[in-house]
Amino acid sequence: MTFRGSYTVCVTPFDDQGRVDLAALRSYVDWQIDEGVHGLIPLGSTGEFLSLTRDERGAVAETVIQQASGRVPVLIGTAAEWTDEAVELSREAESIGADGVMLVPPYYSSPTDAELIVHFTAVAEAIGIPVMLYNNPFTANVDLSAALVARLSEVENISYIKDTSKNVHRVTELLQACDGRMTVFAGYYPWESYLAGAEGYSSVMSNISPALSAQTFTETVDGDARRGRDLYIRSLPLINALAGDLYVSATKAAMRMIGRPMGDPRAPRLPLPTEAEARLRSILRELELIG
């Protein structure tokens, strides 16, 4: 299976008591697929994976995989600070039918390149499904350089990377360094990244407007790049509004505004402040997502 297109990095829904709401998650998966999303990635940063128990992580993964039922690929976030735990989570994901896994580096220990090679290789060698590296230097405290990713791309099933460095030139560096062994997904700035050779977008905004995110990819990569740019410029205010420190709170606030409430984020995150809600509401009106 080849991963390509706009993949939603899924929020995790909570009910009024703060419990994981699996019924809401099933409805969300159907809506995302009906809207044309190309793939789903639960249990990433936007999915608040660090705020879930192991049992909750398993329930979310299993629910998304079962509800998607092969209609789109599902990659499960299996990141952990401890290598053995990341291996175990990745094996569990494969055993319940995941199409791939996505891993951000250990996010507290600030591992060296040598340690990162050990960590990611251990996961890749423990499973038979593709590994998507997740480079997010702003939260993981390490930056997966093109040279390091080139070494990791020599491991047989480490074949994808989501790059959230905000450096579009990194796409070019990665593709050159990996010599065809790595497919790049953008984490920010999808249109520019597509033009540089990225073949996918790990999209936060797709939680709110999956159709717009998917159409931007399809037009830019498979259709008319100028039309793709128009769609991108239209969506850029929303992309930027969801890109700050309050990205989880903003995403959940926007989903409530469009009539798809997914609950509040878990503490210590707080709901989006009132003044930020007003700006976000204005953006959603401009996109005609709300009245």
Catalytic member of 7, 28, 160, 162: 162
Q: Which residues pair with 40 in a beta bridge?
A: 8, 74
Residue bearing tokens 């402040």: 273
Encoded tokens for 221? 């990569």
Among 125, 175, 122, residue whose Cα is nearest residue 150: 175
Q: 134 catalytic, yes or no?
A: yes
Residue recorded with tokens 């597509």: 194
Q: Is 166 a catalytic residue?
A: no
CA-wise closest residue to 3 among 191, 163, 202: 202
Residue written as token pair 């939603």: 8
Tokens representing 189 are: 């700035």
The active-site residue, picked from 28, 134, 189, 201, is: 134
- Give 93-141 as a DSSP string: HHHTT-SEEEEPPPSSS---HHHHHHHHHHHHHH-SS-EEEEE-HHHHS
Give Cα 252 distance to the centre of its chain: 15
Bridge pairing between strands 131-135 and 158-163: parallel
Q: What DSSP character marks residue 58?
A: H
CB-count burial class (<10 Å; 0-12, 13-18, 19+) for 261: middle
Q: 3-state DSSP call for residue 200?
A: strand
- Residue numbers annotated as active site: 134, 162
